Amino acid sequence: MSKKSGSEPPGPARPDLDALRQQLWQWVNAIPEGRVATYGQLAKLAGAPAMSRFVGRVMSELPKGTQLPWHRVISGSGAITNPNVTEQARRLRAEGVLVSNGRRVSLARYAWEP
């Protein structure tokens, strides 16, 4: 017996990814100088707590020369995971953020609390 079209319950609602991107950009822009936020924190703030990897993808797709402070976004362990670690560490240091071992930031000291 075949199922009738529409007889299955709907799956979970899929977030509007364009709207989520816009929210993420706004939150990234709000991170103050000398502070950092994590991918997971930004996902929660944007209303999609299970999408921290999507945040990473959005950050990796920013256009060259963007004015967003992308360098203020790090992993939940405090590590710089961006492939351009040297540039990210340089920008953070320029804002007074101590970067240990070339790629680690103390979340206890520098985490942004909106």
pLDDT in tens, 18-60: 889 999 999 999 999 999 999 999 999 999 999 999 999 999 9
For residue 9, is it within any domain? Answer: no
Question: Degrees (nearest 5) of the Cα angle 109, 98, 111?
Answer: 30
For residue 18, the model assigns a pLDDT of: 86
Determine, yes or no, domain membership for 95. yes
| Averaged pLDDT, 60-86 | 94
Distance CA 38, CA 28 (A): 10
Q: What is the pTM of this model?
A: 0.84
- 6 in a structural domain: no
CATH of the domain at 46: 1.10.10.10
Indicate whether 76 belongs to any domain: yes
In a domain, 7, yes or no: no
Look at residue 1 and tell me if it is in a domain.
Answer: no
Q: In which band, very low, low, confident or very high, does the pLDDT at 2 lie, cut at 50, 70 and 90?
A: very low
> Within a domain: residue 3?
no
**Which of 2-16, 49-63, 72-86, 95-109 comes out lowest in average pLDDT?**
2-16
φ/ψ (deg, to 5) at 12 = -65, 145
Domain of residue 106: give its range: 17-61+70-110
- Report if residue 79 sits inside a domain: yes
Give the total number of structural domains in the chain. Answer: 1
Distance CA 10, CA 3 (A): 14
